[in-house]
Every structure is written in structure tokens, then in C-alpha cells.
């Protein structure tokens, strides 16, 4: 303006605010939670996990840019939530990714994801110090999934079905043993 003032339209200000160029001084973060099975999600584990992440963000004064969740194995490479986490990082939309445990992000290859996010300028914050005891049974399921996949490739679909059935029976046995062990400790 002739008097040395500048005027901006509301549309322009909103566009700038959405792009992250202007902010309210709080650091933008993304939350990511994952459980392995629908049974865990139905039991409320995913909701409780994301609520713990929200609480951590609030307590530390972060602005939550987005929340992503997956119900899938940590070995599954086709997780929509994780893909979105990476996409926003590549676009420079946030600076911190908040997760509960490193294995929530990836069972194997965590270091590669961490390196990629660091390259994008994103720091990963894992808020929990100790993993829950049921992580061992989840790890057993993931390892059995790996063996099943390779067996199916080696022995064909028919042999893979037999191998999968054998592993299902093994998993049931492991879970039964863990349950008995827990009941014995109580």
C-alpha cells in the first residue's frame, strides 16, 4: 500500500498456514501406531496406543499434524499408514514422528526407515522404555510368517498350505504355553 502497509487476503494466509510456512510456534509431529492383528485392534489396543501418543504430544507442546495407524504385521511392506508417514516426511510436512516402540514402525529394517526419515529431516521419538510381554508372541508369529512365505515359494502353493497349517498349530501351542505360564505366575 502507498502508506507502507501490506495487506494479505484470508485465502493467502490460510494457504501459507497449511503449507507449514507459518505456525503457532509449536513443532508439528505425526503419530504412528500399529497392531498386528484385527483381534488386537478389536480389543482396543490400537486405540489405547494412539491415545498414549496423543497424550505425549500434548504434554510436550507438539502440534499433531496427522495420525496414522495400521492393523498389519510389522513385516508387511504394504502398510497404508506407514506409506503416508513416509510421504509426508518426504514433503517436509513435519519434523518428529512419535511412536510407542521401534517395532511398531517395523519389525525388521527399522534402521533403514530411521535413516530415510533422518534424511528427510524427521526425528523418531519412541516414547516407551520397555516393550510389553506379549511382544514375544507377536515376534514368534512374524517369524513364522517369514518361514511360511519362504516355504510356500520353495514347495509351491500345496506344500505352503501344509506348512501354514503346521505353523498355525505351532502358534496355538506357543500361545497356550504362554497363557499357562502367565496363569502360573499369578
Lowest mean pLDDT among 12-16, 32-36, 121-125, 154-158: 154-158
Instruction: Examine the domain organization and report whether 117 and 56 are in the same domain.
Output: yes
Of 126, 141, 158, the last residue of a domain is: 126
CATH of the domain at 45: 3.40.50.1390
Domain boundary among 85, 102, 126: 126
- Residue 95: Cβ-neighbour burial (10 angstroms; 0-12, 13-18, 19+): middle
Check whether 24 has a pLDDT greater than 60. Answer: no
Cell numbers given for 106: 517395523
Q: Are residues 104 and 35 in the same domain?
A: yes
pLDDT tens digits for 96-115? 999 998 888 887 788 999 99
Shared domain check, 137 and 86: no
Say if 60 falls within a structural domain: yes
State the residue range of the domain holding 83: 25-126
3-state secondary structure 161-185: HHHHHHHHHHHHHHHHHHHHHHHHH
Q: Rounded mean pLDDT of 129-139?
A: 62
**Residue 180 vs residues 48, 136, 184: alpha-carbon distances, Å:** 26, 15, 6
Whose cell is 504355553? That residue is 177
Is 138 inside any structural domain? yes
Residues 112, 147, single domain; the answer is no
- Verify that 31 and 122 share a domain, yes or no: yes
Q: What average pLDDT does the chain have?
A: 80
Model confidence at 166, in pLDDT bands (50, 70, 90)? Answer: confident
For residues 47 and 86, membership in a common domain is answered with yes
Q: Are residues 63 and 99 in the same domain?
A: yes
- 155 inside domain: yes
Total structural domains in the chain? 2
Q: Are residues 48 and 96 in the same domain?
A: yes
Residues 96 and 170 occupy one common structural domain: no
Question: Within this chain, do residues 32 and 118 fall inside the same structural domain, yes or no?
Answer: yes
Predicted pLDDT at 178: 77
Could you say which of 36, 73, 137, 151 is catalytic? 36
Q: Quick check: is 118 in a domain?
A: yes
Residue where a domain terminates, one of 126, 144, 174: 126
Do 152 and 113 share a structural domain? no
Model confidence at 161, in pLDDT bands (50, 70, 90)?
A: low
Task: Specify whether 73 is catalytic.
Answer: no
Residue 157 clears pLDDT 60, i.e. is over it: no
Amino acid at each position: 500500500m502507498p502508506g507502507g502497509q501490506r495487506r494479505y487476503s484470508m485465502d493467502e494466509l490460510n494457504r501459507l498456514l497449511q503449507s507449514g510456512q507459518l505456525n503457532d510456534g509449536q513443532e508439528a509431529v505425526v503419530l504412528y501406531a500399529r497392531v498386528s492383528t484385527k483381534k488386537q485392534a478389536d480389543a482396543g489396543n490400537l486405540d489405547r496406543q494412539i491415545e498414549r501418543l496423543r497424550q505425549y504430544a500434548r504434554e510436550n507442546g507438539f502440534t499433531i499434524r496427522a495420525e496414522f495407524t495400521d492393523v498389519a504385521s510389522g513385516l508387511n511392506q504394504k502398510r497404508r499408514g506407514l506409506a503416508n508417514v513416509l510421504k509426508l516426511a518426504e514433503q517436509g510436512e513435519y519434523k518428529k514422528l512419535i511412536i510407542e516402540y521401534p517395532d511398531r514402525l517395523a519389525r525388521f529394517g527399522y534402521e533403514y526407515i530411521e535413516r530415510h526419515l533422518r534424511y528427510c529431516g524427521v526425528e523418531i521419538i519412541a516414547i516407551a522404555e520397555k516393550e510389553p510381554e506379549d511382544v514375544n508372541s507377536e515376534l514368534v508369529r512374524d517369524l513364522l510368517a517369514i518361514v511360511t512365505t519362504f516355504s510356500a515359494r520353495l514347495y509351491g502353493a500345496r506344500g505352503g498350505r501344509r506348512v501354514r497349517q503346521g505353523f498355525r498349530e505351532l502358534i496355538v501351542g506357543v500361545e497356550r504355553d504362554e497363557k499357562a505360564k502367565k496363569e502360573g505366575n499369578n
